[in-house]
Amino acid sequence: MRISEAQKLVDEWIKTYGVRYFSELTNMAILTEEVGELARIMARKYGDQSFKKSDENVNLADEMADVLWVLLCLANQTGVDLTEALEENLRKKTERDSTRHLENEKLRQF
């Protein structure tokens, strides 16, 4: 699925089942909450924290999809074409960092 298709699917879902988008500020708060939930799982699965009983049945992919969902909502609400934005961001990073990481000795330590 292309990013533009995902944006359209989310928009259609909102219009069919969600009644309307939450406000942009509410969705920003929800995005922060969803990223926090993802961070909690990452800290337990890949970091040094142990799982709590309430975290044992969490689904990493589902938590990532929650983050993506809200980001797609925000993009739709603010008129951002995420395909164009990502392409431009990759171009910027390539120009700026074309040799930076290759020359970083810290990255070569592993």
pLDDT score, position 110: 65
- 34's CB contacts (< 8 A; 6+ apart) are 63, 66, 67, 69, 70
CA 20 to chain centre: 21
**CATH number of this structure's domain 3-79:** 1.10.287.1080
| pLDDT tens figures, 78-103 | 999 999 999 999 999 999 998 998 88
Mean pLDDT of 7-16: 98
Mean pLDDT of 14-22: 97
| Structural domain spans, the chain | 3-79, 82-110
* Strand, helix or coil for residue 80: coil
